[in-house]
Amino acid sequence: MKNNLEKVIITGGAGFIGSNLAEHLFKNGTKEILIIDDFSTGSFKNIEHLENINIIDSRIEDVEDLEKQLSSYDFCFHLAAGVGVKYIMDNVSKALNTNIEATHKIFNVCSKLNIPILITSTSEVYGVSEDEIWTEETKSLLGPPTKLRWSYATSKLIDEFMALAEYNDGNLNPIIVRLFNIIGPNQSSEFGMVVPKFVDAAIKGDEIIIHGTGEQTRSFTWVGDVVNYFRELALIEPYGEIFNIGQPEEISIKELAELVIFKTNSSSKIKFISHEEEYGKAFEDPMRRTPGIEKIVSLTGIKPSKKLEEMIEEIINYRVNLNK
């Protein structure tokens, strides 16, 4: 087990999760962070307040001498990916390229330099599994390739297979985490993220748009818990393992919209539109998504720190003050 993470790499470090991770690491003794980000979905505002960061403003695929630039670091958090349903559906080819080609390049370099790596995968890999609780052993049940929504899940499964194959061959030390609907104060609403989108609409008194019937349920996870888990896993070194990171509390999207309206004392109305109307026929949506987190809780001793209502209140307060 490591004592600390002195010098780390965060790909996608200017994004929502990556910037929160950088801040968390610095608060817990990390001395230097290298961020690789092309700022296609990340923002410099997320990291401009941080000291002791080096930035490579580029797609991973385009970085020259990547091995040389990473050679002095001792851990890699690989977060770079296309994110958000809207972004994925609008940029299928680009997202696939990032999720596969960039990941393969990072794996090769980390293998050569013997740098352990934490890889962020997604709850999307479970597809439309009918299991009540999704554990790390739940079988994936993905839709057909004509439903382009599943391209993201497929690319992430390829990443997982590549990582574990390299681990089994003795070439790479990976830790894989599957993330379930991460939320927090500085999350952008630009790419279809449901909570900031609902909160921003409610604050303005605009219509809250729900895709589908609103009966589909999700489980939302606090970003502070996520980055805490990331650091603990990096220190514990459970290489070759997969972990769900989530919050088992479940809520329907319609109930979420009603909660946001209530907490903001908003006059917003809810409007329902079909997935097909928003994303076309290539879209398919699972009706529920609930994580089993016993494995990571048992290993780290860390449980989710906030209930959903607390998360929503904190996000609302942040965004209200942001708009003043």
Active-site residue numbers? Answer: 152
Report yes or no: 122 and 178 within 8 Å, Cβ to Cβ: yes
**Cross-sheet strand order for the sheet of 32-37:** 53-57, 32-37, 7-11, 75-78, 117-122, 174-179, 241-245
Q: Nearest Cα to 19, choosing from 85, 106, 79, 81?
A: 79
- Taking CA 269 as the corner, what is the angle to CA 267 and CA 275, rounded to the nearest 5 degrees? 150
Report yes or no: 93 and 101 within 8 Å, Cβ to Cβ: no
For residue 231, what are its two tokens? Answer: 């650091």
Question: For residues 77 and 175, what is the distance between their CA atoms, to the nearest angstrom?
Answer: 9
301: left (phi over 0), alpha (psi -120 to 50) or beta: left
Residue recorded with tokens 């009603």: 258
Report yes or no: 24 and 227 within 8 Å, Cβ to Cβ: yes
Question: For residues 232 and 25, what is the distance between their CA atoms, to the nearest angstrom?
Answer: 11
What b/e readout covers 227-264, taking b as 16+ CB neighbours within 10 angstroms? Answer: bbbbbebbeeebbebbbbbbbebbbbbbebbbbbbebb
For residue 216, what are its two tokens? Answer: 């589909």
Phi, psi torsion values for 118, nearest 5 degrees: -100, 125
What b/e readout covers 123-156, taking b as 16+ CB neighbours within 10 angstroms? Answer: bbbbbebeeeebebebeeebbeeeebbbbbbbbb
